Amino acid sequence: MSRSVAPRVNAVHASDVHSFSKFSEPSITLVEGLGVAGDAHAGLTVKHRSRVARDPHAVNLRQVHLLHAELFDELVEAGFAVFPGDLGENITTRGIDLLSLPAGARLALGENAVVQVTGLRNPCGQLNRFQPGLMAATLDKDANGHLIRKAGVMSIVVVGGEVRAGDPIGIELPAGAFKRLELV
């Protein structure tokens, strides 16, 4: 019989430079409306290089990247040497099905911080530069042949606060009809 794991923060990461991977930290501080303090992707407008090239004035819906530790388990089992922070996420979670959340879901992290899920991260070719074959390993198909992107979710900070490994994660689903996550 398998035990259910209460949703928790598994690890936290940040990087003040535009690098593929992020560095493990004892804690990170989420800043309302901006993202992770000191992280290269924090800001009111887009900071990801590909998004800046398209429209540098677009609202930043990718302030905080969350990725489920269960994906790392799956990738390691498939022979990849990847660990929390390697895929550029700010927060690695465990015990929560991030990909099944609706758009607008709010996640309470630690004592005060709250992020709102804005959409899916689209895996990109940088994954294959990190390790050949990794991009395909982060994609799947459902029973109907629809593409499943497993590279985590993006969010914005609605309430700031400190987040650290071991913190509980609370889930608040939005009122109204379920809105499936799309790419942001």
Q: Is residue 31 part of a domain?
A: yes
Q: Is residue 46 part of a domain?
A: yes
Q: Is residue 184 part of a domain?
A: no
| Partner residues linked to 116 by β-bridges | 106, 156
Predicted TM-score (pTM) of this structure: 0.96
Greatest CA separation found in the chain? Answer: 51
Nearest one of 60, 63, 16 to 38, comparing CA atoms: 16
Backbone angles phi, psi at 123, to 5 degrees: -60, 140
Coil, helix or strand for 153? Answer: strand
Q: Work out how many domains the chain is built from and give that number.
A: 1
Q: Is residue 127 part of a domain?
A: yes
Q: Is residue 116 part of a domain?
A: yes
pLDDT tens digit sequence for 98-149: 999 999 999 999 999 999 999 999 888 899 999 999 999 999 999 999 999 9
Q: For residue 139, give the CATH number of its domain.
A: 2.40.33.20
Specify the length of the chain in residues.
Answer: 184
* 127 in Cβ contact with 48 (< 8 Å): no
Domain that residue 21 falls in: 8-172
